[in-house]
Structures are given as structure tokens and as C-alpha cells.
Structure 1
Amino acid sequence: MKLTNHSISTEPRLTSLSHGGGCGCKIAPAVLSEILKGVPQLPFPKELLVGIETSDDAAVYQINESQAIVATTDFFMPIVDDPFDFGKIAATNAISDIYAMGGTPLFALALVGMPIKVLSNATIARILEGGAEACRGAGIPIAGGHTIDSVEPIYGLVAIGIIDPKQVKSNAAAKPGDALILGKPLGVGILSAALKKDLLSPEGYQEMIFNTTKLNSAGPDLAKLAGVHALTDVTGFGLAGHTLELARGSQCTALVNWSKVPLLSQVKELAEQDIITGASERNWHSYGNDVSLPKDFTKAQHALLTDPQTSGGLLVSCDQDAVQDVLEIFKRHGFPDARVIGQMSEKQEKPLVLSN
């Protein structure tokens, strides 16, 4: 495939080439469910420890008594205009699903779709360099991949990891009484919407890049704690969507105290100015009937609850006795904003209940 060589300075902004950026371009949960329900499934072998049943973060396939393969894929259109940052964010996001199962990454394959008549060799190369930098941070090689000429820029990874089967942490094993802990602050989708409208400050951009390129490397250490029952990461369906997946899969109800949820520094004010993504509304239409909100819940809070997170934080369900150990692991891996945001309860009428 021959790539063009025109100057980067004459190229359009990366975000102008995509109809939705980052995990905000995921198909809405309700639409995805409708698509998948008619797709026939082969019987799952017993070695497949985690499949598609609970919309978990990755597949887990046991190969012997002490080893299982963790496999996942993730890709999307640009969430930022800097090609290196875009590549690094996309790769970090893909690797996160290995960490969210408690696994250790082994290697990755690159997924690359680029409009070769619009973007230069240099720009495409910078996207791939950003992805390689994220993989370097995770200690893994990009061992291959596939490229196509596409209308919109698309980049991501197939990520492969390994885990002891006894330490697999799915999103379907939370228990009533567990504490819920979130590893990263929310608001990436709102910051990306502000960026697209030229309303994001330089400080806000740097905060966004730091948050989205921070590897969720705490996952394997969290998986080793007996008191940690369930793990997932918060991405395109927002905090509400991924908490709902955890609650439904575990046959529990999640009780979230909104005042405890960590937020990126500028997002509350931006949300109050109605700077939000279209994906936020699509998310709510998909699962809003399963969420109980307090009467004084504001429109801005609503937007943040459903805000699509790109490379978002780990969400942990653990014994109350394990809370300090979990927070210490997060701190050791460089997540100072990790917070207890609620707890799991016996199954109630709604699987997610918010309080202020």
C-alpha cells in the first residue's frame, strides 16, 4: 500500500476526519445488544473461562493448570489532533482490557486504517510511534498487525496477555457488601468535546493526555488480592454503563455516592456549559431505565455519569477489609485519585442506584 507524502502542515485536524472520537464512537449498548442477539453462537469449550456472556473486558482461555491466555481488541477514530498522542491513547486503551482482567500483557498486533490520500506518511508514522510508546511502557512488543485504506483514521491493537486461572477477575463476581473503588477521575469525553470546539485550555489538554495515556498497570497486583472479587474498566459506556454490567453480571445492585466520584479538574464547569458528547445521550437511552437517580441530580451530573471514557480507570469490587490494600496498590502504581465511590448490595429493583 503506497502512502502519500504531502506536508503535515497542509493536513486537516485529525478530529475533523472522524464522526466520533475515542471510545465515544462505540456502538450504543442497546444497539449492540440488538445486533448480537441474532448472531448464532457455537458451544463454548470448558477451557473458555470468560467469553461474551457478561460483556466482560477480554476473553480468557485456559491452556494448563497455571496459565490462561487473555485476548482482547480495541480501536477507534481520533480523540485528539496530535498523531502521537492519538496513537498512544488508543494503544493504552486497548492494553487496559488485559489489566482489567488482572492479566499481564505479552504482545500486541496493530490495527491500522488510514485515509492515505488525506494524511501523510509522516502523520501515519507518528500515530504508530505513539502506539509503540504505549506498548513500550507496558513492556510488550508490537509483533505484527494489519493495515487498510479507510475513509476515517482508525488505530488500535489486538492485545494478548497471560494470567493464572485462579486469579482471573471478571466483571461478574462482585458480592453484596463489597466496596466499589474507581481508579481514575471521570470527564475525558467532555474534555474531548471541548477540544473539538477549541474550548479546552492547555492545562485541560495536558490533564486529558495524562489520564488517557496512564496504563492501568495496577490490574495484576489487584488480581492477586483474595479480597478483590471483580474488576472492569470504565470506557465508552461511561461510569453508569460499566457499573451496570458489573451489577447485572453479579446479580447485585451497585449503590454509588456521586459526591465521592473523582472528576477531572475542568469537566464540571464544561458540563454545566452543555459541552458534552453525543455518545453520552446515546448511552443513557440504552440503559437509563435501569438507573435510579436522586431527584436533585443535575443535567451536568447526568452528562458526567454517562460520559464515555477513553482509557478510563479500573473499577474494583472488593471486601471492605481489602479497601486499604486496594488503595495502596493504586497509589503505588501512580493513581492518587483512586476513591471508594460506593458499594454493592443485594439485588434491588434497579441494578444501579445513585445518591448525592
Structure 2
Amino acid sequence: METMDDAGVFRISDDTALVQTVDFFSPAVNDARSTGRIVAANCLSDIWAMGARPLTAMNILGFPASKIPCEVAGEILAGAGDKLVEAGVVLVGGHTVEQNEVMFGMSITGVVHPSRALRNSLARAGDLLVLTKPLGTGILCTSLKEGLVDEDALREAVRQMERLNMYASGILAGFDVSAMTDVTGFGLAGHAVAIARASGVTLEIDAKSVPVLDGALELACNYLPGGTGRNWEYDSEHVGIAGGMDESLVAVMLDSQTSGGLLAAIAPDQAGEAVRMLREGGDSCAAIVGRVLPRPVSEEKTSNTQKSVIIVP
């Protein structure tokens, strides 16, 4: 594996390549139907992040049938079905297993022309970074599990997590995008690191321009998902943080997302129009959040210039 792309691509002819991905995880919210919708949106997103079109899906469900009514499993599957129908994807099967905790996911197969597959390894110096959804879902969902917020406080977060990246991917297909990924478990900083290292560039993120869900900043320092801490353990070597940065904002940059938005490197003369069209198309929080810089050559190992990602206030 040369890069950390969102899905595997296998060429089957000169004009067709299969794109395949699989993911599964514990519910982020309490409502079973929303859980299914969110998981489906999250799993499908990897295909759209590659510039591909999803065709088929298979369900993967782990479920404690002796503890939770089977109707709950039915609602999870129905919610996932809602999103498959919306995306025009056919469910062709699946597998269930008895276990102590609910876990749900999908394997997705799609297609793309081999020359049109988007990778995270081709970001160009000078491009601007566009993010299509706000951050903070991990923090808010963890706070829900701790009883610090109620379902009403998560209404916008749930709406964002249920929204398909199909719409943003379709709009961005009309622009000069050099690299793209979706922002999920590794957080914005982690996925930016993947692009930067694979492309041999540095990504500068303007923290004040990054959209954040209401309430996430206030909760950020105290109620982080476990994945966020692990993100920092890995990212600290590769991420430079400017002095004076608010700790809560840094935490949001590292926040492990569920069904997050697309992060795209776009030609600078097109990024503004791309954001305008994304907002008109329903991704109302889309924003330019940074830029792609050439990787500097420096002997100063302690300098931020040696970092893959630099976060500035």
C-alpha cells in the first residue's frame, strides 16, 4: 500500500475500475434508525471520496439478540436502507453475528474510470483546502453517552452525519480537484497528514476558518472520544501547532469524526466558486479552511517547517 486512500481500486478494463471499501463501528447515537442512516452515510463516503460511484452494499451486523429486541436490529437495517435508496445503491446481502455489543457496518463496491479516480497523493502546492461539513461530531456523541447533552442538542450533528457526501462529491466533480479524502476517524488533522505525507507537501489549516458544530468547543477539552487521544499520539510527530492556539480548538482539529465531510485540494481560482455551489447544494457549512504549501527543505528538525500539517490561529 503506497498511500492511505479511502478505498481500494482494482482495474478490470481500460475504462473501468472496481472501488471497494468496508467499515463498521458502534452506534454514535441512541436512535436505531439514525444509527443505520449514519453508518450507511459513513461507509458510502469512502467511495465518493475516491470520485467513484457506489453500486452495491452488504451489511455487517453484530448484535446481542438476548439483550436487545430484534426490532432494534430491524430499525438499524431500515435506516441504512433509507440511505442506500437515496444513493441508488443495491443491497445484495450481508452477515450477522451474535456478540455483546451492537456494531454495524457495510462493505461497498463501486466503479470509476481508472483515470478519474481521486487519490490523496496528488495535492498541489498552491491549491486551497475545502471542507464540506463542520467538525465536532465525536465530541458531541461522546458527551451524549456521558449524559451531558440530550438528543435535542445533537439534532444538527445528526443531520450532518446522516447527510450523504454524494452531493458534495457530485459538485466537486466539476472542479479541478487534485486530491480528496473524507474526514472520519483520524480527525481533520489526521486526514490532512495523510494527504500531506502522500503528496510530499505541507498543509496549512486556518483554525478560525474551520466550521464547528454548536456546543463542541465548550465540551472539547473534557469529553473527547478515545480515538481522539490516539489521533494525537500519532499526529503529534507530524502536526505543528502555532503558539497561542486555544486548546479546545486544537482538540476539535483532532476530533474523531463519524460521517464527516470531504476535504478537497482545489485549484485556487476555483475554490471560492466550489464553496458557493456546495452551500447552495445543501452543504451550508462548506468553507475554505487552508492551503497546500510546498514541502520546505530545512535542517531544523524542531521547526514547524518540518511538519506535514501546520495549524495556525
TM-score (norm 1): 0.82
Correspondence 1:113 to 2:70: no
Match of 2:102 among 153, 165, 181: 153
Match of 2:227 among 263, 274, 279: 279
Change (3 A) 1:166 1:236: same
Q: Deviations over 1:174-200 (max 9, x none)?
A: 010110000000000011111012222
Correspondence 1:223 to 2:173: yes
Q: Any conservation in 1 of the 2:56–2:109 contact (CA below 8 Å)?
A: yes
- One-letter code of the match for 1:353? I
Aligned-partner SS, 1:320: coil
Change (3 A) 1:329 1:105: farther
Q: Any conservation in 1 of the 2:187–2:254 contact (CA below 8 Å)?
A: yes
Correspondence 1:297 to 2:245: yes
Q: Any conservation in 2 of the 1:112–1:155 contact (CA below 8 Å)?
A: yes
Correspondence 1:60 to 2:9: yes
Aligned-partner SS, 1:70: strand
Q: Deviations over 1:77-133 (max 9, x none)?
A: 111111111111111100000110011111101111111211111111111111111
Q: Deviations over 1:259-289 (max 9, x none)?
A: 10000111112225x2222221111011211
Alpha-carbon separation, structure 1, partners of 2:243 and 2:217: 19
Q: Any conservation in 2 of the 1:167–1:223 contact (CA below 8 Å)?
A: no
CA drift of 1:166 comes to: 2.0
Partner of residue 300, structure 2:
none
Partner of residue 191, structure 1:
140
CA drift of 1:305 comes to: 1.1
Correspondence 1:167 to 2:124: no
Alpha-carbon separation, structure 2, partners of 1:334 and 1:214: 9
Partner of residue 350, structure 1:
307
- One-letter code of the match for 1:234? V
- One-letter code of the match for 1:229? S
Partner of residue 316, structure 1:
264
Matched residue count: 303
Alpha-carbon separation, structure 1, partners of 2:238 and 2:30: 36
Correspondence 1:250 to 2:250: no
Alpha-carbon separation, structure 2, partners of 1:90 and 1:316: 22
Aligned-partner SS, 1:119: coil
Partner of residue 299, structure 2:
none
Aligned-partner SS, 2:5: coil
- Of the structure 1 ranges 338-347 and 146-155, higher mean CA displacement relative to structure 2 is found in 146-155
Q: Any conservation in 2 of the 1:189–1:308 contact (CA below 8 Å)?
A: yes
Alpha-carbon separation, structure 2, partners of 1:93 and 1:326: 22
Q: Any conservation in 1 of the 2:139–2:220 contact (CA below 8 Å)?
A: yes
Aligned-partner SS, 1:97: helix
Partner of residue 99, structure 1:
48
Q: 1:60-139 counterparts in 2 under 5 A? A: 60-139=9-88
CA drift of 1:296 comes to: 1.0
Alpha-carbon separation, structure 1, partners of 2:208 and 2:171: 28
Aligned-partner SS, 1:87: helix
Q: Which runs of 5+ in 1 are unaligned?
A: 1-51
Correspondence 1:307 to 2:264: no
- One-letter code of the match for 2:114? P
- One-letter code of the match for 2:308? P
Q: Any conservation in 1 of the 2:189–2:254 contact (CA below 8 Å)?
A: yes
Alpha-carbon separation, structure 1, partners of 2:180 and 2:216: 25
Q: Any conservation in 1 of the 2:185–2:256 contact (CA below 8 Å)?
A: yes
CA-based RMSD of the aligned residues comes to: 1.4
Q: Any conservation in 1 of the 2:133–2:285 contact (CA below 8 Å)?
A: yes
Alpha-carbon separation, structure 2, partners of 1:85 and 1:202: 11
